[in-house]
Amino acid sequence: MDIAAGEYGYTSDDFRRLLSARSVDVLQADVSRCGGITGFMQAAALCDAFHVPLSAHCAPALHLHVACAVPRLRHQEWFHDHVRIEAMLFDGAPQARDGAIAPDLSRPGCGLAFRHQDAAQYRVK
C-alpha cells in the first residue's frame, strides 16, 4: 500500500525532507498551504527530481489548473463535503464527471466567482 503525506508541508524544505528520507510513496501538497501556485510547482519539481508522484490535496478548484502542468500528478483528492460547500458559495466550482475533472477554460483565473449574497447568511458579526 502506498503512503501519501505532506499536505501540511509549507515550504520546499518540508517536502525535500519527506522525499530525502524516502518516507512517502506519493507526496501530497496543498496549494492553500505551500505558497500558492509557485509553491505547488516547487513541490512538483522536487517530485520530478525524486521520481515520486504528486497528489493535489483537496480544494480541486484551486488545484485544477496548476495540476494540469504537473508531469507526475497521481490524482486530485476529492472530498464530497468540501466540493458541496464550494458549490453553495461559488459559481464555477468543478464538477466530477465519470471520475474526472477538467478546468473550464472559458472562466478567468481558477474559475471561481464568489456569491456574496449566498454567503451573507454565514457572516459572523
- Model's pTM, two decimal places? 0.90
Band of residue 83 on the pLDDT scale cut at 50, 70, 90 = confident
Q: Three-state SS for 72?
A: coil
d(CA 79, CA 25): 21
| pLDDT tens digits for range 14-46 | 999 999 999 999 999 999 999 999 999 999 999
CATH code of the domain covering residue 78: 3.20.20.120
Asked if 27 and 72 touch (Cβ cutoff 8 Å), the reply is no
What's the number of CA atoms in the CB half-sphere (13 Å) around residue 16?
6
- Greatest alpha-carbon pair distance for the chain in Å reads 49
How many structural domains does the chain have?
1
**Mean confidence (pLDDT) of the chain:** 95
DSSP one-letter code for 1: -
The residue behind cell 500558492 is: 36
- Predicted confidence (pLDDT) at residue 11 exceeds the cutoff of 90: yes
d(CA 30, CA 43): 10
| Mean pLDDT calculated for residue range 47-72 | 95
* Domain coverage including residue 79: 4-122
